Each structure stands twice: as C-alpha cells, then as structure tokens.
Amino acid sequence: MKPKFELSTDKKESLVETIKVYFEQERDEKIGDLAAVLILEFFMEKLAPTFYNIGIEDGHALMTEKVDDMFGIMK
C-alpha cells in the first residue's frame, strides 16, 4: 500500500519514532520500525485524506468569509 503523498525522510523517521513511543508509553508494548512504518502508512492512506479534506474545507470557509468582508467595504 502506497500513500498518495510523500514525507521527507526526516519527517517519516520522526513520525515512526513518535508511534513507537506512543505504543511503549500508552500500551506498554514495544514495536519495531517495520510495525511503526506500517501503522504510519495505514494512517497516511486511510485516515489522513479525511483530515486533509477538513483542512481544505476550513480554509475555503475562511477565505470565503474574508472575500465577503472585502465586498462589505465597497463604496
């Protein structure tokens, strides 16, 4: 399974480490790099697009509001 977007190597390594720390602290489980990478790829493929789209919708709403504000200053 290949994510639709790419992360820099540094960012990916950081996120993999974050996942490993989460599992150790919250679930008292040690997972390896491969398991953490697979979890990251799952989230990137299945969940990230939902949050990305929410961000796009929020940005659109904000920009629409600002454009409407511009019309309010017309003379």
Confidence of residue 27 (pLDDT cuts 50, 70, 90): very high
Contact 36, 20 (CB under 8 A): yes
Contact 40, 16 (CB under 8 A): yes
Confirm whether 2 is domain-assigned: no
Instruction: Check: pTM over 0.85? Answer yes or no.
Output: no
Confirm whether 1 is domain-assigned: no
Confirm whether 51 is domain-assigned: yes
How much of the chain is in helix, strand and coil states, percent to nearest 5?
80, 0, 20
How many domains are there within the chain?
Answer: 1
Mean pLDDT, residues 13-40 taken together? 98
Per-residue pLDDT at 19 exceeds 70: yes
DSSP symbol at 45: I
What was the pLDDT predicted at 72? 79
Q: Which domain holds residue 50?
A: 9-72
Tell which wins on pLDDT, 75 or 17. Answer: 17
